[in-house]
Amino acid sequence: MLDPFAKRPDDTPTTRRDRFLARYPEQRRKMEENISKQPVFLRPFLLLWFKAQTWRLDMLYKKLLKERDESPDR
């Protein structure tokens, strides 16, 4: 897994979805396979769930960065 505190290169994806894809490509591939196997009427709900998970991970990442910046041992 990537170090959440590492400096990001200039070509870092800017959208939340792109950042998630860059960090978790294997999970993304599995999720797309699973969604494509589901009935059509469920797919929008599954995509919303997936977006909620990426939002949650993004918030955790921001929290880690904030804690790192506020830590007195720097």
Which tokens sit at 49? 């769930």
CA angle 29, 25, 44 (to 5 degrees): 45
* Residue 71: predicted pLDDT: 81
Query: What does the pLDDT profile of the chain (74 residues) look like in tens digits?
Result: 556 555 555 555 567 767 777 777 787 788 778 777 878 777 788 888 888 888 888 888 889 888 888 887 75
Query: Which residues lie closer than 8 Å to 58 by C-beta, 6 or more apart?
Result: 16, 19, 20
* Residue 74: predicted pLDDT: 57
Distance CA 35, CA 38 (A): 5
Which tokens sit at 17? 């979805």
* Residue 28: predicted pLDDT: 75
Which tokens sit at 4? 């959440």
